[in-house]
Chain A
């Protein structure tokens, strides 16, 4: 349980990560302490190169930290083996990427059904669930369309459907509005907030985009490889934006 009574989703203590060796070594994370709660959308902000994306990679288990502890819904990711970590990601983490990362040769129904197919569900089951979510995000009429036939906002909506189709408990969003104009970015965040934020789920967003800070419940400020402070969204915007 966290301080406010909501269950803790992610807790990290003293997380470090260094790239390279010797004189070329770059310490990207220098002992990050962080906590994210269920039911909230927390944004991680900070200047370029402060370690946001590295930290996000560590939290979601796509990168191993050198030291420290990373607890996600009670699972210690630091000590999970490669195969079990992959399995953990597949079942518990949903991803929304800056560049969408939709596979261009597959239609959006196929793209959105990937996480369920990876879990071993049948094509029909996976596509039924994906179609339902795509309909919810307003793309029900375009299930056969390929990503290149869609606008950036529509592609990000497909990415949201893909991220949520397997009902993950942790949703990781890396600069979800960076490739979108302001109005579309706003709509995408509205959709994300409406469809993703639930009591049993935690949404972590890494962003530079101050226009979407208002959607966050809390904002963690990173600088030089550490979390400098965590603020309520209103406080942070009043102070910095």
Chain B
């Protein structure tokens, strides 16, 4: 009988297509928008993955990684003196403008690494050598810089030059870096040179990057550093969570994406619920005939739920497939951001299950209420 229940579903082509379309659209909307949201959230913390260190030290007022409140250089030494610190190096991290050959400007994310250790260096070099940063006026640019410069008609290669704050910057390498929230290219140089490029300020140290000694828990070192007045410290995991929380709390991004996701779910509930109810309504006479012939309510419930969950699974699968296709295009183009963790798939799946349960239940109520005697009317 269950096989025949599916035949009943597939046989009503118009309603089947409508149901499938509604659930596919609903899944696609929820997953695609959630994927873009997750991608955007990932961008907010890209610095933490581009500069991979266990502990970040910053000004006590800093709330998230993309916010810089400059500190005095002396803070590096104060951190080094904390028990359990293996090493501590300075990092400059600031948004400034680069002047291209044609005179146009491009905002860049200037990252100044400690020249002795190169701690925080990019994980993947696609051209050149990071050690060459020690050469005069040397910078390493990421793939986004190549793309952004190209959009302005400038092909950037190793050996090319451009200007940062009226000072020459010579490209000695190209690296791969995760895109930042603002989408500006990462330009790596040494800490000292970054201070030369940066506009003059009384304090210029953005972060102190720290590694605890082997066997000393990072959280313990963080607690000790926090005792130094005026500065604070976070493990990279803490900083990641804190940054995500900040964007969720203080920007309208979650509301904006959440609204679309909720609308997607509502559209799914409306279309699927209404269409499935119509499908059951039109078949109620046949289902009542089955009831008259000896089909119990349990069997009819199994049939109705099987129909609802079959079309739900198909819609979910198609939605997930289309989301993956769209996401693949986004990732190739580089924009908009896209990241599809399993939690998004599980979330969309649970909404689809709810829609199927809701649709099947309202349809089933009609079937259960239908007296078998209705077949004689």
Q: Which residues of A contact B (CB under 8 A)?
A: 53-54, 56-57, 60, 62-63, 83, 86-87, 89-91, 95, 97-99, 101, 103-106, 110, 114-115, 117-119, 123, 174
What are 19 A-to-B residue pairs whose CB atoms are below 8 Å?
A: A54-B373, A57-B376, A63-B373, A87-B294, A89-B292, A90-B293, A90-B295, A95-B293, A98-B376, A101-B289, A101-B375, A103-B8, A105-B7, A106-B7, A106-B11, A115-B293, A118-B1, A118-B295, A174-B375
Task: Indicate whether A86 sits within 8 Å of B294 (C-beta atoms), given known contacts A53-B376, A63-B371.
Answer: yes
The residue in chain A whose Cβ has the minimal distance to the Cβ of B289 is: A101
Residues in A with CB closer than 8 Å to B12 are 105
Interface residues as binary, B366-377 with A (CB distance below 8 Å gives 1, 0 otherwise)? 000001110111
From 292 to 336 in chain B, residues with beta carbon under 8 angstroms from any chain A beta carbon are: 292-296, 299
Chain B residues positioned under 8 Å from A56 (CB to CB): 376
A115 to B294, CA, bound (A): 7
Residues of A within 8 A of B8 (CB): 103, 105-106
Best-surrounded residue of B283, B290, B299 (most CB of chain A within 10 A): B290
Indicate if the CB atoms of B296 and A62 lie closer than 8 Å.
no
C-alpha gap A190/B88 in the complex (Å): 101
Q: Which of B3, B283, B285, B292 contacts A62 (CB 8 A)?
A: B292
CB distance from B14 to the nearest CB of A (A): 12
Bound together, the chains give a CA A115 to CA B289 distance in angstroms of: 11
Partner of A86 from B10, B291, B373 at Cβ < 8 Å: B291
B301 to chain A, nearest CB (A): 13
Query: Could you tell me which B residues sit within 8 Å of A by CB distance?
Result: 1, 3-4, 7-8, 10-12, 283, 285-286, 289-296, 299, 371-373, 375-377
The distance from the CB of A121 to the nearest CB of chain B, in whole angstroms, is 11
B4 partner residues in chain A, CB cutoff 8 A:
103, 106, 110, 114, 117
Note all chain B residues with C-beta closer than 8 A to A87: 294, 296
Q: Is the CB of A53 within 8 A of B286?
A: no
Report the nearest B residue to A105, measured CB to CB: B11
Also in contact, A62 and B376, with CB within 8 A (given A95-B292, A115-B294, A118-B295):
yes
Write out the residue numbers on chain B whose beta carbons fall within 8 Å of the beta carbon of A86.
Answer: 291, 294-296
Bound together, the chains give a CA A119 to CA B373 distance in angstroms of 20
Contact: A62 with B375, CB < 8 Å?
yes
A-B pairs with the 5 shortest C-beta distances? A90-B294, A105-B11, A57-B373, A62-B372, A101-B289
Interchain CA distance A87-B376 in the complex, whole Å: 19
Interface centre among A83, A87, A101, A104 (most CB of B within 10 A): A101
Given contacts A95-B375, A97-B376, contact A105 B292 (CB under 8 A): no
Q: Would you call B375 and A118 a contact (CB within 8 A)?
A: no
From B292, B293, B296, residue with most partner A Cβ within 10 Å:
B293
A174–B374 CA distance with the chains assembled, in angstroms: 12
Write the nearest CB–CB distance from B209 to chain A, whole angstroms: 67
Q: How far is the CA of A63 from the CA of B291 in the complex (A)?
A: 12
Please determine whether B294 and A62 come into contact, CB atoms closer than 8 angstroms.
no
Measured CB to CB, the nearest residue on chain A to B2 is A117
Which chain B residues border A97 with CB–CB below 8 Å? Answer: 289, 375-376
- Is B286 in contact with A101, judged by CB distance below 8 angstroms? yes
B296 contact from A57, A83, A115, Cβ within 8 A = A83
Asked if A103 and B296 sit within 8 Å, CB to CB, the answer is no
Please name the residue on chain B nearest to A83 by beta carbon: B296
Output the least CB separation between A188 and chain B (Å).
18
Chain B residue nearest to A159 (CB atoms) is B289
Closest to B295 in A: A118
CA distance A95 to B373 in the complex (A): 11
Question: When chains A and B are docked, how far (Å) is the Cα of A123 from the Cα of B2?
Answer: 11
- A62–B370 Cα gap in the complex (Å)? 11
Q: Could you say which residues of chain A place their CB within 8 Å of the CB of B10? A: 105
A206, chain B: closest CB distance, angstroms: 8
What residues of chain A lie closer than 8 Å to B372, measured between beta carbons? Answer: 62-63, 89
B105 to chain A, nearest CB (A): 66
Q: Is the CB of B377 within 8 A of A53?
A: yes
Closest CB-CB distance, B318 to chain A, in whole Å?
Answer: 22
A103–B12 alpha-carbon span in the complex (Å) = 11
Q: Are B11 and A95 in contact (CB under 8 A)?
A: no
Residue from B7, B286, B371, B376 with most neighbouring chain A CB atoms (10 Å):
B376
State in angstroms the CA–CA spacing of A97 and B292 once bound together.
11
Q: Name the distance in Å between A142's Cβ and chain B's nearest Cβ.
A: 18
Q: How far is the CA of A89 from the CA of B283 in the complex (A)?
A: 21
Asked if B294 and A119 make an inter-chain contact with CB atoms under 8 angstroms apart, the answer reads yes
Q: Which residue of A lies closest to B296 (CB)?
A: A86
From known contacts A62-B373, A63-B371, A63-B373, infer whether A103 and B286 are also in contact, taking CB-CB under 8 Å: yes
Query: Judging by beta carbons under 8 Å apart, are A95 and B295 in contact?
Result: no
A174 touches B376 (CB 8 A): yes
Given known contacts A57-B373, A105-B10, A119-B294, what 13 new A-B pairs fall within 8 Å (CB)?
A62-B291, A87-B294, A89-B293, A90-B295, A101-B375, A104-B286, A106-B11, A110-B7, A114-B4, A114-B293, A117-B1, A118-B295, A118-B299
A101 and B11 contacting across the interface, CB-CB below 8 Å: no
Tell whether, in the assembled complex, residue A114 and residue B290 are in contact, meaning their CB atoms are under 8 Å apart.
Answer: yes
- Within the assembled complex, what's the spacing in Å between the Cα atoms of A101 and B295? 15
Residue in A57, A83, A91 with the greatest tally of chain B CB atoms within 10 Å: A57
CB atoms of A118 and B290 under 8 A apart:
yes
A105 to B12, CA, bound (A): 7
